[in-house]
Amino acid sequence: MDLNHNHFSSQDCGDCPIRHRAVCARCDARELDELEQIKYYRSFEAGQTIIWSGDRMDFVASVVTGIATLTQTMEDGRRQMVGLLLPSDFVGRPGRERAPYDVTATTDLVMCCFRKKPFEEMMIRTPHIGQRLLEMTLDELDAAREWMLLLGRKTAREKIASLVAIIGRRDAALHLSGKKGPLTFDLPLTREAMADYLGLTLETVSRQISALKRDGVIELEGKRHVIVPDLDRLLEEAGDDTDGGLLV
Amino acid sequence: MDLNHNHFSSQDCGDCPIRHRAVCARCDARELDELEQIKYYRSFEAGQTIIWSGDRMDFVASVVTGIATLTQTMEDGRRQMVGLLLPSDFVGRPGRERAPYDVTATTDLVMCCFRKKPFEEMMIRTPHIGQRLLEMTLDELDAAREWMLLLGRKTAREKIASLVAIIGRRDAALHLSGKKGPLTFDLPLTREAMADYLGLTLETVSRQISALKRDGVIELEGKRHVIVPDLDRLLEEAGDDTDGGLLV
DNA sequence: TATCCCACTTGATCTGCATCAAGGCAGGCG
DNA sequence: CGCCTGCCTTGATGCAGATCAAGTGGGATA
C-alpha cells in the first residue's frame, strides 16, 4: 500500500532530511547532490505562523522535527484545520504560486525546504520524485477522506477517541516501535488546536477528554501526556472499523 | 494552476474518452494506441453499486458520462460521502489492491476503465501520465480540504448554498459556457445523497432548500432544476471567501 | 381511471453541542 | 512572595439540527 512510510523517520535522517520519504527514497548520489544544492533549513517557534493563506510560497518542504498545521479561516473567524504535518510529511505543491491555507508551527519546528523553481525542474528530469509525491499525495487524500467521515458523522466523543488513536499510532510508528506495553505519548496540540482539527469547540474537547478519562478509556498525566491501557477499547470508542490501514 | 481542466470535457471526447484530461492529454499516437489496448467501457444504471469497500478492484477508470460517488459507512449505518465524481474525473489508485470506499452510480453512468496491471506498467514507462495523475490528485486534495471546512464549520444553510454553488459551477465549466444569463442546472443528487455529502439528514437538506427558495437565493423548477438569479448572493450565503479558484 | 411507489416536504419534539460565564492551576517574572 | 497570563476545566443555559411522524405530489403501471 504505502512503501516507505516508516523506513525514514526523522531519527534516521540526522541532519540529512533530504532522505525523508518525501522526496528521495530512491534517489541516486548525483540526484541527492543536486537536491543538496537547492535545500535549506528553517526553524520556527511554537505558535509562529510560517505562511499566510494567499501569500507567495516559493518553496516546497519536508518536516524534520515538530508539528505544523494547515488551517482555513472564514471571514467571521471560524477555523478548520485541514492538514496536520508530522515529521517526514511534505508540504507545498509544485506548480502553485500561492499558499491556499495558513501554515502554522504548533510546536517548535524545523523544516527542510527546497527552492520551488529548481525543484520543479528536477521533478521533470527525475520521474521517481514525481512518483513518490503521487504516492504521498494519495495517502494524504485517503487521510483527508477518513477525516471527512469524522467531521461529518462522528459524535464529539468518537472524534476525541479518533484523534487520540491517530496521534498515538503515528507517534508509535515514528518511534520505530517494536516495543510492547500500553501506548503512551504526548498530545502535541492545545485543546484549541484539537477543536480546530475536530470541528468542535475547545470546551467540548475538554469535557470529552474528561469523560474518556472518567470512563477509563484513557489515562492522563498532566494535561498532555496520554496512556492508552487498551487500544482496542479506544478504537471501539472511535467508531473505527478500518483497522488503521488508512489512517495516516 | 491546473491546466487541462476544461479542455477535454465529455462532449469533446465523443466515444474516445481516453482523451479525458485524466490520462492522456499529453500522450502521443503510440501511447494512445497502447491505452486503446487496455481500455474497455462499463455502463451502470442509477443507484447501482459499482464496487463495495474492501472488494478487489483491478482497474482504474475515468467517468465518461453521469455521476458516481465514493462513500464510507460505519457499522451502525452512518454514511458520509467522501468523493463526487463528475465526467472526466478519475477513480482508482495505481498500486492499490482493494477499494477503500463504496463506489456507486447516482445517475446512469458510463466509465472508461483501464486494466490496472498494464496501466501501472505503462505509467512507469510514461512519466507524464504520472504527472497528470499527480496534478489531478492534488486538485482532489484541495477539494477535499474545502469540503472539510464545510463539514466542520458551516451551518446547514451554508452547506446547502455551498453544494449548489459547487455543482452549478462544475456544470457550467462542463458545458464550456461562455454564455451569460442566470446559472441554471439540474441537481444530480437525491436529497439523501446531498445529506450524505453534507453531513446532514435528508430532512434538514429539504428544509434548508425550501428556506433558500423562500428567501429568493435560488429558484426551483420541479424538485431538481435550479436557477440561481444572483451567483454572488449564493456565494455569500455559502460563506465562501475563496473566489471559486479551488472548488473543483 | 385508479393505485402504488418513491422522492420529497413539513410539523412536533428532543438532544448534543455551542455559548456564556466562572474558576483552577502551573509557570514566569516583578 | 504575590501577581499575572495562558491553558484548561466545569457549570448553566440556549439553540441548530436530529429524530420521529405524518402527509404531498408526480410518474409509472395496469
| Complex confidence, ipTM | 0.90
What is the average pLDDT score of chain A? Answer: 86
Phi, psi of A124 (to 5 degrees): -70, -40
Supply B80's cell numbers: 458520509
Report the domain count for chain A.
2
From the list A134, A140, A153, the residue facing B80 with the nearest CB is: A153
Residues B122 and B212 reside in one and the same domain:
no
Contacting residues of A for B135, CB less than 8 Å apart:
95
User: Are residue A59 and residue A131 in the same domain, yes or no?
Assistant: yes
CA-based R_g, chain B, Å: 18
**pLDDT of B17 over the 80 cut:** no
d(CA A131, nearest CA chain B) in Å? 7
User: B76 contacts in A (CB within 8 Å)?
Assistant: 239
Q: Alpha helix (H) ranges present in B112-199?
A: 116-125, 127-153, 156-174, 191-198
Report yes or no on A186 lying in a domain: yes
pLDDT at B3: 29
- Indicate if B16 and B120 belong to the same structural domain: yes
Give B147 CA → C12 C1' in Å. Answer: 32
Query: How many angstroms separate the CA of residue A142 from the nearest CA in chain B?
Result: 9
Closest chain B CA to residue A84: B145
At position A25, the amino acid (one-letter code) is A
Contact B149 A239 (CB under 8 A): no
Q: State which residues between 180 and 219 of chain A bring their CB within 7 Å of strand D.
A: 190-192, 202-203, 205-207, 209-210
Q: Same structural domain for residues B94 and B187? A: no
User: What is chain B's mean pLDDT, rounded?
Assistant: 86
Q: Are residues B46 and B125 in the same domain?
A: yes
In a domain, B188, yes or no: yes
Q: Is the dihedral of CA A224, A163, A139, B138 positive or negative?
A: negative
* Strand C lies under 7 A from the Cβ of residue B192: yes
User: From the list A97, A149, A242, which residue is nearest B80 (CB)?
Assistant: A149
**Residue B14 maps to a domain:** yes
Task: Check residue A31 and give its pLDDT.
Answer: 83
Task: pLDDT band for B9, please (50, 70, 90 cuts).
Answer: very low
Enumerate the β-bridge partners of residue A73. Answer: A79
Q: Band the pLDDT of A2: cuts 50, 70, 90.
A: very low
Indicate whether A168 belongs to any domain. yes
- Stretch among A69-83, A132-146, A173-187, B55-69 having the lowest mean pLDDT: A173-187
pLDDT at B181 exceeding the cut of 60? yes
Where in the sequence is the domain holding B89, given as residue range(s)? 10-148
Q: Which nucleotide is nearest to A154 (CA to C1')?
A: C16
Nearest Cα of chain B lies from the Cα of A96 at a distance, in angstroms, of 6
Residue B246 placed within a domain: no
Give the dihedral sign, CA A246/B2/B7/B11: positive
CA of B72 to C1' of D28 (A): 32
